[in-house]
Chains A and B, each alone.
Chain A
Amino acid sequence: MSTLEVSPVEPVTRPSGQPVVNDFSIQVATVNGSGSQTANNVLMRTLFQMGIPVSGKNMFPSNIAGLPTWFTIRASKHGYIGRRKEVDFLVAMNPETAREDVLKLESGAAVVYDEPLQLNKLRTDLHFYPVPFDKLVGPVCPEAKLRKLVRNMIYDGVVGWLLSLDMEELRQALVKQFGKRKAKAAELNWGAAQAGYDWAAKTLTKTDPFRAERMNGTAGKIIIDGNSACALGAMFAGVTVVTWYPITPSSSLVETLMGYMKRFRHDPETGKATYAIVQAEDEIASIGMALSAGWAGARSMTATAGPGISLMSEFIGLGYYAELPAVIFDVERVGPSTGLPTRTAQGDLLKNALLSHGDTQHPMFFPSSPEECFTMAQDAFDFAEQFQTPVFLMSDLDLGMNNWMADPFPYPEKAISRGKVLTADDLNRLGGFARYKDIDGDGVGYRTLPGTNHRAASYFTRGSGHNEKAQYTEREDDYVNNMDRLAHKFEVMRRHVPLPVVDSREEARIGFVAAGTSDYAVRECRDQLRAEYSIDSSYLRLLAYPFTESLKDFIRDHERVYVVDQNRDGQLLKLMRLEFEPELIAKLRSVRYYGGLPLDARTITDEVVRQEGQ
């Protein structure tokens, strides 16, 4: 460390002496199971309540207690809420990682740390703030076994002073975090936060430039994670059967849903449930239940992650071929195999698009924000029933498990759509029906539900060869006709999926195509390219697969199109290559990130600049 230059600090990218207001990232390094999540959420919420656009990313291990965890809070007056690689403000609470964490910092960063760690000896170009946590926690927390938890709130107080946080907002954030029922715990923690603040005010001299100031960038917004947003979407979509098997990072989706359903989906008079939520024995059973519930007329769903999807493969093929509706929430994590269960990726795209043996194709929806989780979950249920097929709602760990600042959700305007279901009255009128006959030219047949009181209602559902009347067949023409109708149905879906969001710039020669959580990094990257390299770019954000015609138009309109993938193999790009003509494919470039962390803008910017030869 002796080779490092000595202070005074000259932050690399910041003008010296100028305060840096509402534009910084805080990283808190702790061990999991230490109760730091509360302190981190309070910190995030405090900034949010001060009107500063903020995002929080939890990077946690696949473990219950004792392994390193990092929580990054980004405050951005510009409204960037994607991950930022650089850390401005480190709170080093984990002795195991403290050294590495400090060595990774860029020059000029600030470090709040536990005094005995003596991190100030590692470098001289950082702002060090040693805090005697053990000394401070004793007086505010007489109960020894709680000290490990309360200790974290002391750094909230210290950081509060250093960043000039509004402590009244912090107190309110704390009360909100603990809820009314845990008022006593909130009180105890508030004492610790205050002790940290008072000690810092009395003892520390602020030398770093980072500061928070009240602004008006969060008015009316909410804070919510994507899994909760999906849960709310499902509830307002009118889901009736939910079957699932616990798996990170999707478990909290169903667990949150249980809580909301208990509150809002019991018959006010009888107290009985208008839904069933069943924890199955594995993912094969959960998808079997979801698809058969869909077959019998329920609005059904399951939630899982990559390994679960792999297990569901056979049933999803049945869902495609026998034409059964269900919504599958896939909260993607890093594969292959067990992979990195608590890290994020978009690595299930190619698999889900073509899941199962034989010729199969499945629609996927790509929400990028909690609002879209909410609205697209509803779209997905309607879509599944309209097209009588499994629909994937593709989220990921970053979207699903992290807290996001979001616009409040709009109450659904559209009525629930149940698709083509014939009732006994319909059958009286029609005399009968052929389950898999394409009456309307959209490839979607009419179905009846078991329990329909009519002699002509019944039909036989099977995963084996079937003709228009759902009868067993091995005839060449029956098979081909049926498969062609299914292909046609998929083409019709192409015209009914949510359309991409396009931002086309006149001057732009390059374009971006991305989906889901890549959005935040792409948006910031475009600003970086314009500001730092004078490169203008257009952007098409996909909301769904199958791809729409507008994607082809977008590629035609640009010289080069960068397809952003959060996986090693460029899966989104490969999906395009499967169906596009060579002239379009030739224009596609790949930008990939697959390190397991939420995608950041700089990674894309650097790669695009490299490929652009600048």
Chain B
Amino acid sequence: MSTTAAPPPKKLNRIGLEVLNYKGSKTTLCAGCGHNSISERIVECFYELGVEPWRVAKLSGIGCSSKSPAYFLGESHGFNSVHGRMPSVATGTLLANRNLLALGVTGDGDTASIGIGQFMHLVRRNVPMMYIIEDNGVYGLTKGQFSATADVGSTLKTGAPNQLPPFDCCALALKWGATFVARSFSGDKKQLQTILKAAISHKGLCVIDVVSPCVTFNDHDGSTKSYSYVKDHEEMLHELDYVPFYQDISVEIPEGEVTDVELHDGSHLRIRKLERDYNPTDRLAALASLEEAAAKGEVLTGLLYLNTTGPTFIDMLNLVDEPLATLPQSRIRPSQAALDEVMEELR
């Protein structure tokens, strides 16, 4: 038979877009790079939730991770800016247009080394955005130097050990004001997806530190950011499920096992207990858990902290509802009478 089968109907999401609408250009990162997995998760999440791509602004600094916004959400505006300064770029973007969904992608060098100052101030302001740290403990683009998240004793490819203590970006975010703090692993498809979806639904700063192995410069024995190390040392806090706001949530929740949290946009996060009792609304407990895990050499993953109530930086500025960027002249140039009044005062 020579007839060709009709192509299967394209799968569309709830706003009528196919997954292609959420893809970017072809990645130029190394095959097997954890960052590529994260890009794939981002594509899936935004597609599955039916987020309008035009509402998203992708922002990044400099480095392998910061190149990746070109590889997802091709129908969203992107801005690959200056090393370590993406927080200010995200802040300015949101000042101009508060209705954008700001998606920041950065690396451990970009955030914890050159960018630690801007990162801390972003945290302090609770700027409403997703801030994904693709954390591999090493500089890739400059070929394998340590960053400030490398663990004490972990080694470079050359065998040289790191002697300085690491910054734990999650601990810093917890301490100074982020309202959504999570750690995940680029190899854990389900957990990362759920965390990303919950972050899309959250109003406030979401700091998501994703351990994302660098296959070229930091995947060897002696690295604490390699695939095998994380697989062996990952300690999941809980199991997470996400129910988007447009889905029925009437399924009964088993008593004591699962906690249900309603997120800003009406979606729900279901947190299923594993071995430990972990309350992600307890900030001090979260900090303590990170300390304990670090002492044991464990990589603690899951939603470390969630606060659905804090005001964001944009709330504090008491801005008009519309984007400042597109206000018409009549609303941004005061009247002749206003100028006359000022001139009279100065006479």
B89 x A267 contact (CB < 8 A): no
| B325 interface hit (Cβ, 8 Å) | yes
| A557 interface hit (Cβ, 8 Å) | no
Would you give the shortest CB distance from B53 to chain A, in whole angstroms?
Answer: 7
A412 x B79 contact (CB < 8 A): no
Cβ-closest chain B residue relative to A286: B88
- Report the separation of the CA atoms of residues A224 and B321 in the bound assembly, to the nearest whole angstrom: 34
A295 x B117 contact (CB < 8 A): no
| B296 interface hit (Cβ, 8 Å) | no
A449 x B326 contact (CB < 8 A): yes
Knowing A273-B319, A292-B88, say if A236 contacts B324 (CB, 8 Å): no
* B residues adjacent to A (C-beta < 8 A): 21, 25, 52-55, 57, 59, 69-70, 74-82, 85, 87-93, 95-97, 99-100, 117-118, 121, 317-321, 323-327, 329, 331-334, 336, 338-339, 342-343, 346-347
Knowing A240-B325, A416-B332, A457-B54, say if A293 contacts B117 (CB, 8 Å): no
B96 x A293 contact (CB < 8 A): yes
Would you give the shortest CB distance from B15 to chain A, in whole angstroms?
Answer: 12
* A residues adjacent to B (C-beta < 8 A): 220-224, 232, 235-241, 243, 260, 263-265, 267, 270-276, 278, 280-282, 284-300, 314-315, 318, 408-409, 411-412, 415-416, 448-455, 457-464, 471-472
B333 x A416 contact (CB < 8 A): yes
Q: Using Cβ atoms and an 8 Å threshold, which residues of chain B touch A448?
A: 77
A295 x B93 contact (CB < 8 A): yes
Would you give the shortest CB distance from A415 to chain B, in whole angstroms?
Answer: 6
Q: Using Cβ atoms and an 8 Å threshold, which residues of chain B touch A260?
A: 342
B334 x A235 contact (CB < 8 A): yes
Which of B89, B325, B329, B343 lies in contact with A416, CB distance below 8 A?
Answer: B329
Would you give the shortest CB distance from B75 to chain A, in whole angstroms?
Answer: 5
Would you give the shortest CB distance from B215 to chain A, in whole angstroms?
Answer: 22
Knowing A236-B333, A274-B331, A460-B78, say if A222 contacts B347 (CB, 8 Å): yes
Which of B97, B121, B329 lies in contact with A449, CB distance below 8 A?
Answer: B97
Cβ-closest chain B residue relative to A270: B320
Cβ-closest chain B residue relative to A228: B346
B54 x A454 contact (CB < 8 A): yes
Would you give the shortest CB distance from B9 to chain A, in whole angstroms?
Answer: 21
B325 x A292 contact (CB < 8 A): no
- Report the separation of the CA atoms of residues A585 and B63 in the bound assembly, to the nearest whole angstrom: 45
Q: Using Cβ atoms and an 8 Å threshold, which residues of chain A touch B57?
A: 296, 450-451
B82 x A288 contact (CB < 8 A): yes
Q: Using Cβ atoms and an 8 Å threshold, which residues of chain A touch B336?
A: 411
- Report the separation of the CA atoms of residues A238 and B330 in the bound assembly, to the nearest whole angstrom: 9
- Report the separation of the CA atoms of residues A265 and B329 in the bound assembly, to the nearest whole angstrom: 12
Cβ-closest chain B residue relative to A411: B336
Cβ-closest chain A residue relative to B80: A462
- Report the separation of the CA atoms of residues A235 and B59 in the bound assembly, to the nearest whole angstrom: 29
Q: Using Cβ atoms and an 8 Å threshold, which residues of chain B touch A238?
A: 327, 329, 332-333
Which of A271, A449, A455 lies in contact with B325, CB distance below 8 A?
Answer: A449
- Report the separation of the CA atoms of residues A548 and B346 in the bound assembly, to the nearest whole angstrom: 35
- Report the separation of the CA atoms of residues A241 and B334 in the bound assembly, to the nearest whole angstrom: 16
Q: Using Cβ atoms and an 8 Å threshold, which residues of chain B touch A452?
A: 54
Would you give the shortest CB distance from A374 to chain B, in whole angstroms?
Answer: 9
Which of B80, B324, B343 lies in contact with A222, CB distance below 8 A?
Answer: B343
- Report the separation of the CA atoms of residues A282 and B88 in the bound assembly, to the nearest whole angstrom: 10
A289 x B78 contact (CB < 8 A): no
B324 x A450 contact (CB < 8 A): no
A453 x B338 contact (CB < 8 A): no
A264 x B82 contact (CB < 8 A): no
Knowing A281-B118, A453-B52, say if A274 contacts B332 (CB, 8 Å): yes
A298 x B333 contact (CB < 8 A): no
- Residue among B54, B69, B321 facing the most chain A CB atoms (10 A cut-off): B54
Knowing A223-B346, A235-B334, A276-B317, say if A458 contacts B85 (CB, 8 Å): no
A314 x B82 contact (CB < 8 A): yes
Q: Using Cβ atoms and an 8 Å threshold, which residues of chain A touch B329?
A: 238, 415-416
B96 x A240 contact (CB < 8 A): yes
Cβ-closest chain B residue relative to A281: B121
B339 x A241 contact (CB < 8 A): no
A288-B82, A298-B92 given; name 7 further pairs at CB < 8 Å. Answer: A222-B343, A273-B317, A292-B88, A295-B79, A318-B82, A415-B329, A460-B69
- Report the separation of the CA atoms of residues A201 and B99 in the bound assembly, to the nearest whole angstrom: 68
A293 x B333 contact (CB < 8 A): no
Which of B21, B55, B91, B343 lies in contact with A289, CB distance below 8 A?
Answer: B91
Nearest 7 CB-CB pairs, A to B? A297-B325, A288-B88, A292-B92, A289-B92, A238-B332, A296-B96, A450-B77
A291 x B92 contact (CB < 8 A): yes
B118 x A285 contact (CB < 8 A): yes
Knowing A285-B88, A450-B93, say if A458 contacts B333 (CB, 8 Å): no
Would you give the shortest CB distance from B271 to chain A, in whole angstroms?
Answer: 33
Q: Using Cβ atoms and an 8 Å threshold, which residues of chain B touch A457?
A: 54, 77
- Report the separation of the CA atoms of residues A282 and B99 in the bound assembly, to the nearest whole angstrom: 26
B318 x A273 contact (CB < 8 A): yes
| A–B pairs, 5, beta carbons within 8 Å | A241-B96, A449-B325, A455-B75, A459-B77, A461-B81
Which of A223, A288, A459 lies in contact with B92, CB distance below 8 A?
Answer: A288
Which of B53, B96, B334 lies in contact with A300, CB distance below 8 A?
Answer: B96
Q: Using Cβ atoms and an 8 Å threshold, which residues of chain B touch A449?
A: 77, 97, 325-326
- Residue among A286, A295, A464 facing the most chain B CB atoms (10 A cut-off): A295
